[in-house]
Amino acid sequence: MFNYETVKAKDVEDSWASNVKVRWLITKDMGAPNFAMRLFEVTPGGFSPLHTHPWEHEVFILEGEGVLFDGETATPFKRNDVVFVAPDEWHQFKNAGKQTLKFLCLIPHPKK
């Protein structure tokens, strides 16, 4: 076991993301057979891309506050909230607060 901060935070290299870093905490390479645990950090004003894909997100908000935007509606969330993004749902996470937004986001490993 390890503190999450011992895992390097890497910039999310997506031209439609802004000020988002990710730490891959539990991965397939580590022996996880089914799904991965990542921790995202978004500084104030930052956001992930508005996008969609055929897999789900299971999210737990650890620190801060933000909004989930589906292309039409922005729904606020904050620390200790749970977010389920179903497969093929459009989604974008934005930091709407004054501190760093941190959340866990788990995804299934890509299907072969």
Q: Which is nearer to a copy of itself, 17 or 91 (CB)?
A: 91
Distance CA 98, CA 46 (A): 11
Q: For the CB of residue 33, give the shortest distance to a copy of itself in the complex, in Å.
A: 6
Distance CA 80, CA 74 (A): 18
Distance CA 106, CA 112 (A): 18
Q: For the CB of residue 84, give the shortest distance to a copy of itself in the complex, in Å.
A: 5
Q: Residues 40, 57: contact at Cβ < 8 Å?
A: no
Q: Which tokens sit at 23? A: 């730490």
Q: For the CB of residue 19, give the shortest distance to a copy of itself in the complex, in Å.
A: 22
Q: Which is nearer to a copy of itself, 20 or 23 (CB)?
A: 23
Which chain residues interact with a copy of itself by CB under 8 A?
1-5, 7, 25-26, 30-35, 37, 56, 58, 60, 62, 68, 75, 77, 80-84, 86-87, 104, 106, 108
CA angle 55, 101, 80 (to 5 degrees): 75
Q: Which is nearer to a copy of itself, 24 or 49 (CB)?
A: 24
